[in-house]
A and B are shown apart, each in its own frame.
Chain A
Amino acid sequence: MAEKTTILNLTEEEFVHSGNRACTGCGLSIVYRIGLKALGKNSVLVVPPSCLTVLQGLYPVASTKLPCVNVTFASTAAAATGVRSAMMALGKDDVNVVAWAGDGGTSDIGIQALSGACERGDNIIYICYDNEAYMNTGVQRSGTTPQGVLTTTTPIKGKLQVKKDVPAIIAAHGIPYVATASAAFPLDFYDKVKKATTIHGPKYIHVHTPCPPGWGFDTRYTIKVGKLAVETGLFDLYEIENGSFSLSAPSQRLVGKKRPPVSDYFAAQGRFKSLDTDMVNTIQQQVDAKWAA
């Protein structure tokens, strides 16, 4: 990969108009803007029902400057396969066909289509923005909601199950590129999307996007909360390129260092308030064991 992108050499061209319908402090609005800069204008988006369809807005304030195909909830990757195949038939091999879906649309209802595209080796970029619940319908649990999180469908003890490790599932398909990223580290995300545009075959990027109303924190703390998820070792940033795993800089620099306790991350948000001390200790031990390995 060429040198890292910095704020000084980031392209000034915008593909999202200012003034969209995202909530204040939305992590998705950050990665959407940065991600489209990395993709450039020679791109097509395929999007299922999600917060992104809300962010894109209603006429006359529609915000995206790229062609966008909105599809049914279960179909994102399959529809992207269709777009890609038709583009190839038309000889337009240089177009980035980009599926962009939420964690519900990816880890739950859409995983069959995504798995199919990965297994076939379809030449698409799939970006999952993970706000860790169904935020568009008012905060119901998803497959990637972490354990202990209160949602409207896990209202009593919080979610009982652990977060589904979607990047690992997709990596198990043996596709050429899998990466994780965070809205709190937008330039790292930019470089990963940019790299995905240069690789042939299925590419999967899983980006963590804090959500103030869904997670229960003040809108000014989106970056802070996103950074805490990485710095406490809960959400790791890495790439798996042709099977080769490497930690990305924000996670790499934690190796051998003392990390802030996971309780710092939990305390910063309302959604973890039903977690008891035992549970917090258990999660801390799991994170410590992961980082010791």
Chain B
Amino acid sequence: MKPAVRTGNHYITGDVACAEGAIAAGCRFFGAYPITPATEVAEHMAERLPDVGGTFIQMEDEIAAMASILGAAWTGVKTMTATSGPGFSLMMENLGLGVCTETPCVIVNVQRTGPSTGLPTQTGQGDMMQARWGSHGDYELIAIAPSSPQDCFYHTILAFNLSEKYRVPVLVMADEIVGHMSEKVVIPDAREITLVSRPRPKGRKDRFRLYQPGPDGVAPMPAIGEGYNVHVTGLTHDERGYPVMTPEAQEEMMTRLKGKIRNNLDDIIRTEEYRMEDADIVIVSYGISVRTGLTAVDEARRLGYKVGLFRLITVWPFPEERIHAIAARVKGLITVEINLGQVHYEVERCAHGQAATYLVGDAGGKIIHPDKVVSLIQEVFQP
């Protein structure tokens, strides 16, 4: 066995940093299917997991990959898969199963440009609404958007921690540039990494109820084979885990599934601010486009505009109240994202007419140049 945490300074890609973050977070099962630009996550896991007593399996497609991590999660291990657009689409039904059965797991989507095969080797942020609503039905989950290889390391750990704590699939919404570029990644000492594990059942096994929530709305999770009664189903189920085909049971289950996220937004949502103190124009961005935003802020400030950046680290659940509050005190909100308007419309919704909202988008295939943002600012605002 080799150490799970490769403490030190590294020069690695975001894909490799994701894999290292997962292993540091305690991931010991990885099932995936090769797809550009996420293949390197799988390739690195194939090399690394045997070192730490974990299991890597290349599955026969993405349906199987997603199914395998759900199955493995119920044995008590932390599990992950990695994919990109077309594979992400194939995972959607099982993603919903993961939400419904409250199965902790992490899905990395190294986004490329779609729709369909699109530009397989080029960047995009067009899967953000799919991340939110891609599986059928009404539900809540968590999605995190890394902006650098260093983020890939920490955000994958964060994804595991939130997934374990809230028993929900967590999506790491990277993109081709973040996934493929190499940068310095500092991996800290293992003792400096905080790890969270799923709540575990206590007490009499014969009285155990699989989905009886604790005080934070999350039910303790046993592993298959420990003696607790485990009946896992995607049918609407009661606290015991058994199917109940009534609207009342549906309402109770949905209240728990949505409540455990909606009632813990302050704990889940993570954002960052840059030069926001006196800003009256705010760029909202996430993932690789944050780097466009950072440069645009400095450029626009040089030209005399009071611009700041509001970064979404967690894109879902959406920081509705924060955006609403910001909109109340600024002239305009500019969303920068590599699609033709997805999170932009969420910003517009939450701004609720208090501030003007603008999109600096791109059809995909390239990072957005900061000049495009600065030009918009010069066009519509006075310094």
Q: Are A153 and B34 in contact (CB under 8 A)?
A: yes
Main secondary structure of the interface of B (DSSP, over half): mixed
Q: Given A72-B86, A72-B116, A109-B33, answer yes or no on A152-B46 (Cβ-Cβ < 8 Å).
A: yes
Kindly list chain A residues whose C-beta atoms are within 8 Å of the C-beta of B39. 137-138, 140, 152
Q: Are A140 and B42 in contact (CB under 8 A)?
A: yes
Kindly list chain A residues whose C-beta atoms are within 8 Å of the C-beta of B250. none
Kindly list chain A residues whose C-beta atoms are within 8 Å of the C-beta of B379. none
Is A19 engaged at the interface, CB distance under 8 Å to the other chain? no
Bound-complex Cα distance A282 to B14 (A): 42
Q: Given A153-B43, A153-B46, answer yes or no on A108-B60 (Cβ-Cβ < 8 Å).
A: yes
Least distance between A113 CB and chain B CB atoms (Å): 11
Q: Are A74 and B47 in contact (CB under 8 A)?
A: no
Is B52 engaged at the interface, CB distance under 8 Å to the other chain? no
Kindly list chain B residues whose C-beta atoms are within 8 Å of the C-beta of A137. 34-36, 39
Least distance between A116 CB and chain B CB atoms (Å): 15
Bound-complex Cα distance A138 to B42 (A): 12
Question: How many B residues have CB within 8 A of the partner chain?
Answer: 19
Q: Are B61 and A73 in contact (CB under 8 A)?
A: yes
Is A37 engaged at the interface, CB distance under 8 Å to the other chain? no
Is B71 engaged at the interface, CB distance under 8 Å to the other chain? no
Is A154 engaged at the interface, CB distance under 8 Å to the other chain? yes
**Nearest neighbor of B47 in chain A, beta-carbon distance:** A155
Question: How many A residues have CB within 8 A of the partner chain?
Answer: 19
Is A70 engaged at the interface, CB distance under 8 Å to the other chain? yes
- Find the residue from A70, A72, A134, A153 having the highest chain B CB count within 10 A: A153
Least distance between B23 CB and chain A CB atoms (Å): 16
Least distance between A137 CB and chain B CB atoms (Å): 4
Bound-complex Cα distance A101 to B145 (A): 35
Main secondary structure of the interface of A (DSSP, over half): loop
Is A210 engaged at the interface, CB distance under 8 Å to the other chain? no
Bound-complex Cα distance A49 to B42 (A): 19
Is B56 engaged at the interface, CB distance under 8 Å to the other chain? yes
Q: Are A141 and B58 in contact (CB under 8 A)?
A: yes
Q: In A119-157, which residues have CB < 8 Å from any B CB?
A: 134, 137-138, 140-141, 143, 152-156
Least distance between A22 CB and chain B CB atoms (Å): 17
Bound-complex Cα distance A72 to B115 (A): 11
Kindly list chain B residues whose C-beta atoms are within 8 Å of the C-beta of A155. 43, 46-47
Bound-complex Cα distance A154 to B42 (A): 11
Kindly list chain A residues whose C-beta atoms are within 8 Å of the C-beta of B116. 72
Provide 20 A-B residue pairs closer than 8 Å at the C-beta atoms, listed in order of the A residue: A49-B117, A49-B120, A72-B116, A74-B61, A108-B60, A108-B61, A109-B61, A111-B60, A137-B36, A137-B39, A138-B34, A140-B58, A141-B58, A143-B60, A153-B34, A153-B42, A153-B43, A153-B58, A155-B46, A156-B50
Which of A's residues lie within 8 Å of B, judged by CB?
Answer: 49, 70, 72-74, 108-109, 111, 134, 137-138, 140-141, 143, 152-156
Which of B's residues lie within 8 Å of A, judged by CB?
Answer: 33-36, 39, 42-43, 46-47, 50, 56, 58, 60-61, 86, 90, 116-117, 120
- In addition to A153-B43, A156-B50, 8 A-B residue pairs with Cβ atoms within 8 Å of each other are A74-B90, A109-B60, A134-B34, A137-B34, A140-B43, A141-B58, A152-B43, A155-B46
Across chains A and B, which 6 residue pairs bring their CB atoms closest together, nearest first? A109-B61, A108-B60, A140-B34, A137-B34, A152-B43, A153-B46
